[in-house]
Amino acid sequence: MYIDNIVENAQSDPHRSINYSRLLQKLQVRESGRDIEEKLRNGILEWLKKTSYQLLITGLLNALGETGFSCTKEKIVKFVEDNPIYVYFGRTREHVNYEPYRLRYDIPFYSKQEEDDVALLEVNCTDLPKPFILDISRKRPENVTIIGHPASHGNEQIIDRKCPLISEYDAFQIYCEALSWWQSKLENDKIKKAYDFDKRLKVKVLFHCSESTTHGASGGPGINDLDVGSPKVYLMLQEGIPGFVHDKSIKEILRTCPKECLVESGISMSRVYELLSSIQQLKVLRDNIFHT
C-alpha cells in the first residue's frame, strides 16, 4: 500500500521532470523505461528490491526529500500517518475494544523466493503479550489446530481443531484427482498451476481444514500439542488451494467440489527459522523471535 502511494505521488510530483535523474542517481539505479513516469516507477521498485532481505521505506522517503521530491515526501508521510496499519492481540470478538499495536513500515525481512511468501513485520511497541512457543523441530505432527478470524465469521475468532496434515504421497493423489475434477468443470489454464504441489512441498505444509476456516483466515497460526498442556506454533496459514475458489463466478460449482480437493497451505516455523539463519545480520532477530 505504501509503496504504491510512493510511486503514484512521485509520478505526479510537479518537480519530477528536473529531479528524476537525481533521484535515480541517489538510489543508485540505472535509468530504464520509455518516459519519466516509467523510469521513476522502475527505478523506485528496483531500488526497493536491491537490498537482499529488507524493504526500507524510510530510506526511500529520505532519498525523495533529499533529491527535491519534497512534495512527494510530505504527501507520503501524511498518508502513512493518516493510514496506519495495526495488529490486535487477544481479540476474540468483533466490536470489542483491544489495544492496537501499530506496525512500522520498514520491513526487516522478506523472502525473495516466491514460494516462501513470508515477511517479518515489526510493531512500534515493546509491551507485547506473552508469545507462543515456536516449534522449530523437524518432527511432523499428525494435525494442527488453526486459530483465525475468517471473513465469513464476521471476523469473530474461530478455533479449527485437529486439521490433518497431508503427506507427500497423499498430495500426489489429491493433485491427480483435483486436476481431473476441475478440468471437467472449467476451462481454466490456472488449474494446473494452482495445484503445483512439487514446488510447494519443498517449503510448505499442506493440510485439510473444516469449512469454518475459510477466506480471510490467512496469517492464522497452526498449533500442535494443544491438548497436552504445551502448545507450539508449527506453521502459519497462508492460502487456500486452488486460489480461485473464492471467485463469485464459480460459487455454484464449488458447492459440488469434493472436500479432499480443497487444500490449505502454510509455511512451517522451521522454514522461517532456516531463512533467518541463512543471513548473518538477522541471527539476532531470529534469536529474539525464537528465544533460542
The neighbouring-strand residues paired with 36 are none
Q: What is the pTM of this model?
A: 0.83
- Any idea where the domains of the chain sit in the sequence? 2-82, 133-273
The label of the residue with cell 518516459 reads 35
- Cβ(88)–Cβ(101) below 8 Å: yes
Helix/strand/coil for 142? coil
**Residue 92's pLDDT band (cuts 50, 70, 90):** low
- Cα angle vertex 126, ends 120, 131, to 5°? 65
Checking phi first, is residue 28 left (phi over 0); if not, alpha (psi -120 to 50) or beta? left
Summarised one tens digit per residue, pLDDT across range 13-64 is 999 999 999 999 999 988 888 889 999 999 998 888 777 788 888 889 999 9
